[in-house]
Structure 1
């Protein structure tokens, strides 16, 4: 199994756990969205588009309730470090989607070992964090793109509480 295929499998398992979490603990209905609906080959083809397309970075989950919807970008990490990671292009896509489509985008952070929820932040909250502290860019890991590493806020909101 390639590195990409292995990372994709782990990410999809976390996205499935996030969907189950939302469906079990809230009055919202969550389901796959964006690249989550595509085949592995289609995902690879999107990743090879130059210049890099924001389509690659759309959130993989949509949650709906009544006349409301929110896109969820599920991000795994190691909670024991107290750090969170968001790819720069992922945040850019979230902000573009919010502006163009008028739909909120939230980032949901969970532990990669236990899938336990850590908390969530809106794209706007993350952007304010980066604007205040300045980007801490590092070279590539995983997706092969630059990312921001930042301390998880102590007051990170519980996703189930946010979606009440």
Structure 2
């Protein structure tokens, strides 16, 4: 399995977990973003600077509330207690939030929550990654994060629905 394929498997599992946690809290969840595109389209997008490259993974609704969620797997350092978010993603998500007038948030492996604004305000530029795309990142102390339950409510038996796009 290639490095990309392994990251995709890990990322898909994290998206599924986030969706399940939301459903347990009564949210309806649909896959969104590149996960609903064909491999050929995803591959073509990777070769562009389009903001569509950073379309969030999930959309969740509960009543009149809607969130766009970008699931970030393996983006938290246990050694430094910082979350990493690609700078280009933050810029794209700030634009998306302004355009759609919907909140965008990042959900990390431990279910910590940050918004693009949180990252921009609290983050510090980190070095370019030596793995993966080599992209520049913002690093944000985990202490700046919100708890999943604080944003989406406490877990309980789900009344929500998981929509397998």
TM band (smaller chain): 0.7 to 0.9
Counterpart of 2:140 in structure 1 is: 150
| Equivalent residue pairs, number | 151
Counterpart of 1:125 in structure 2 is: 118
Counterpart of 1:6 in structure 2 is: 6
2-structure distance, mates of 1:150, 1:119: 11
2-structure distance, mates of 1:30, 1:160: 16
3-state SS, counterpart of residue 141 of structure 1: coil
TM-score, length basis structure 1 = 0.82
Task: Confirm or deny: 8 A CA contact 1:137 1:149 kept in the other structure.
Answer: no
- Structure 2 alignment gaps of length 5 or more: 154-165
Counterpart of 1:100 in structure 2 is: 99
1:98 deviates by 0.6
Task: Confirm or deny: 8 A CA contact 1:79 1:118 kept in the other structure.
Answer: no
Identify the structure with bigger relative contact order (alpha carbons < 8 Å, sequence gap 6+): 2
Are 2:58 and 1:61 equivalent residues in the alignment?
A: yes
RMSD: 1.8
More strand by share: 1
1-structure distance, mates of 2:63, 2:140: 34
1-structure distance, mates of 2:83, 2:91: 17
- Structure 1 alignment gaps of length 5 or more: 111-116
TM-score, length basis structure 2 = 0.82
